[in-house]
Amino acid sequence: MGNDGGSVVKRKDLVVKSVREKVDLGDLWSVCSLSGRVLEDPVVSDWQGKLYNKEAVLELLIGERSSDTCDIKSIKDVAELNRTFDSTLWVCPVSRLDIVKEGDGRHVVHIVTCGHCGEREAVVVGEKCVVCGSDASDLTVVPLNPKSLDRVKSRLDHLKQKGLTHSLAKSRKRRRTSQTKSKRLKDYVQ
């Protein structure tokens, strides 16, 4: 019917609005926090549990995009999500919660070891991922879009102590800058 065209325009307007204006709570689950574009797989999280299109992160890392608010310095600072869809809806693979619509105010987590994400009490049982059995202990699980950063900050501190990044990859250790610099210079001269 004639109304169909109208509703499409309305949806487009909403997307444009979210790009131009500050991302609001509902958008945190459907819009990339870096590019303002609608989230499309591959989607990644950072240590704060923010969501990004991997493409936008790659653009940031190669210098095609800049950001004042994002502290991603390496691809190791993000971890890829393994999302479950019910038709076009992003859902929890266990409880089937509609994450975009109902994720705010619920405890939605990303298990970094396997990428599965959903309601914490549904997908994490006995420190294991219910879907695939991967490790889902405190260090390997990050809350998505948390209200407070206390827990994610202490997780990142623990990971740093172990020489790991948010994605559980080994971080490159930088020892005494002057020594590293002179070594680099030596390597260059040789």
Q: Is residue 130 near Zn ion by the rule CB under 5 A?
A: no
Residues 56, 61: Cα–Cα separation, whole Å: 9
In the complex, the smallest distance separating the C-beta of residue 103 from Zn ion, rounded to whole angstroms, is: 18
Contacts with 117 (C-beta within 8 Å, 6 or more apart), sequence order: 81, 82, 83, 92, 99, 108, 109, 110, 111, 123, 144
Exactly one of 104, 107, 134, 168 binds Zn ion (CB under 5 A); which one? 134
Contact 81, 115 (CB under 8 A): yes
Q: How many CB atoms sit inside 10 A of residue 117's CB? A: 29
In the complex, the smallest distance separating the C-beta of residue 94 from Zn ion, rounded to whole angstroms, is: 10
Residues 146, 142: Cα–Cα separation, whole Å: 9
Exactly one of 39, 94, 108, 131 binds Zn ion (CB under 5 A); which one? 131
Task: Considering only residues 59 through 118, tell me which ones interact with Zn ion, judged by CB under 5 A.
Answer: 114, 116
Exactly one of 122, 129, 142, 159 binds Zn ion (CB under 5 A); which one? 129
Binding site for Zn ion (CB under 5 A): 114, 116, 129, 131-132, 134
